[in-house]
Structure 1
Amino acid sequence: MGSRMMHYCITSEINKHIYSSQESRIHLGGLAPDLTHPVHAPKSVTHFVRINSEGKKKTDYELFAQIYSGNFHDSFYVGYLSHLVADHIWYETMYLKLIKSLPEENRQAAIDKGYRDFRRLNKLLLRDYPLSPPTGIPVIDNVMIEGLYPEYLPVITQQLIKDFHIEEPYTPDDLEIYSFDAILEYIRLSIEETLKVLRTKVLIQR
């Protein structure tokens, strides 16, 4: 699914819309579903994956919003929701078209190219989203989400901070599988859908 930097871009924009950029917990929530090291929680659990009658997977972000509707006064849950929304959009617009559609013998090579693109995109995205690494990371000890071990959040936060240290002067032409314009559109759609869910399902009026 999307990279740490992409999720950080998404939560940073949502932070502007809802909290005037004054929240820090939202960013940790935006990273939390991918917290699989050192605790290997099943992604199907942390990402609220459901399989429909046709056998198709879906990250059920609306179910998350329903279950935790009373917790969205905490921006951590807003960030967590944004991650689930973004992963659903990534699966539909990127994975199914660029990876899943390939012959099975070619998929791993495409996945490897995608991970190389993630590293290049870390640098490229900072041109459109002039962000700084997170600082003043709060302790998250009052969140109860199935499969989540919040005490390990500093691990993935440090990984995000390292993502900022890319010195190579990459350009969009260096990307192997993803289009930079498509990535920007994916981020835009993820922000838009998250805000829509917050307004219609959770009733955050901002």
Structure 2
Amino acid sequence: MGSRMMHYCITSEINKHIYSSQESRIHLGGLAPDLTHPVFAPKSVTHFVQIDSEGKKRTDYEFFAAKYKENFGDSFYVGYLSHLVADHIWYETMYTKLIKALPEEERQAAIDKGYRDFRRLNKLLLADYPLSPPTETPAIDNVMIDGLYPEYLPVITQQLINDFHIEESVTPDDLEIYSLDAILKYIRLSIEETLNVLRTRFLIQR
């Protein structure tokens, strides 16, 4: 699904819209579903994956919003929701078209190219979203979400900080699978849909 830097771009924009950029917990929530090491929580649990009658998987962010609707006064849950929304959009607009549609023997090579693109995009995205790495990891000791081990959040925060350390020069032409325009559109769609869910379900007052 989307990279840490993409999720950070998404939560940073939502932070502006809702909290005037005053929240730090929202960013941890936006990273939390991918916290699989060192606890190896199943992604099907942390991403609230549902399987329909045809066997198709879906990140059920609407179920998450309904289950934890009383908790959205905490920006951590807003960030977590944004991650689930973004992963659903990624699967439908990126993975299904660019990876899953390939013959099985070509799929792993495409996945590897995609991960290389993620590293290049870390730098490219900072031109449109001039962000700084997080400087603190606030204590998250009052969150109960299925499959989440909050005590390990500093691990994934450090991984995001490492994503800012890019020495090589990169241009959009260096991307192998994704295009910068498509990624920027994906980020915008993820922001818009998250805000839509929050407002239509009255999960936020702003």
- Decide: shared fold, TM above 0.5: yes
Secondary structure of the residue that 2:50 maps to in structure 1?
Answer: strand
> Aligned partners of 2:84 and 2:104: how far apart in 1?
26
Partner of 1:145: 145
Q: 1:65, 1:202 within 8 Å by CA — same for their partners in 2?
A: no
Letter paired with 1:156 = I
Partner of 2:62: 62
Secondary structure of the residue that 1:146 maps to in structure 2?
Answer: coil
Partner of 2:165: 165
Letter paired with 2:85 = V
**2:62 is the counterpart of 1:34:** no
Partner of 1:113: 113
> Aligned partners of 2:202 and 2:133: how far apart in 1?
29
Q: 2:72, 2:203 within 8 Å by CA — same for their partners in 1?
A: no
Superposed CA offset, 1:80-120 (max 9, x none): 00000000000000000000000000000000000000000
Partner of 1:129: 129
**2:190 is the counterpart of 1:190:** yes
> Aligned partners of 1:55 and 1:99: how far apart in 2?
18
**Shift of residue 154, structure 1, vs aligned partner:** 0.1
Secondary structure of the residue that 1:50 maps to in structure 2?
Answer: strand
**2:154 is the counterpart of 1:178:** no
Letter paired with 1:80 = Y
Partner of 1:96: 96
> Aligned partners of 1:116 and 1:79: how far apart in 2?
25
> Aligned partners of 1:40 and 1:136: how far apart in 2?
24
> Aligned partners of 2:137 and 2:18: how far apart in 1?
19
Q: 1:10, 1:187 within 8 Å by CA — same for their partners in 2?
A: yes
The structure 1 segments of at least 4 consecutive aligned residues displaced by more than 2 Å after TM superposition are: none
Structure 1 stretches lacking a partner, 5+ long: none
Letter paired with 1:168 = E
Partner of 1:17: 17
> Aligned partners of 1:166 and 1:180: how far apart in 2?
17
Secondary structure of the residue that 1:156 maps to in structure 2?
Answer: helix
Q: 1:72, 1:202 within 8 Å by CA — same for their partners in 2?
A: no
Secondary structure of the residue that 1:138 maps to in structure 2?
Answer: coil
What is the number of residues matched between the two proteins? Answer: 206
**Shift of residue 201, structure 1, vs aligned partner:** 1.5
Secondary structure of the residue that 2:139 maps to in structure 1?
Answer: coil
TM-score between the two structures when normalised by the length of structure 1: 0.99
> Aligned partners of 1:43 and 1:90: how far apart in 2?
15
> Aligned partners of 1:88 and 1:8: how far apart in 2?
16
> Aligned partners of 2:144 and 2:98: how far apart in 1?
35
**Shift of residue 205, structure 1, vs aligned partner:** 2.9
Identical-residue share of aligned pairs (%): 87
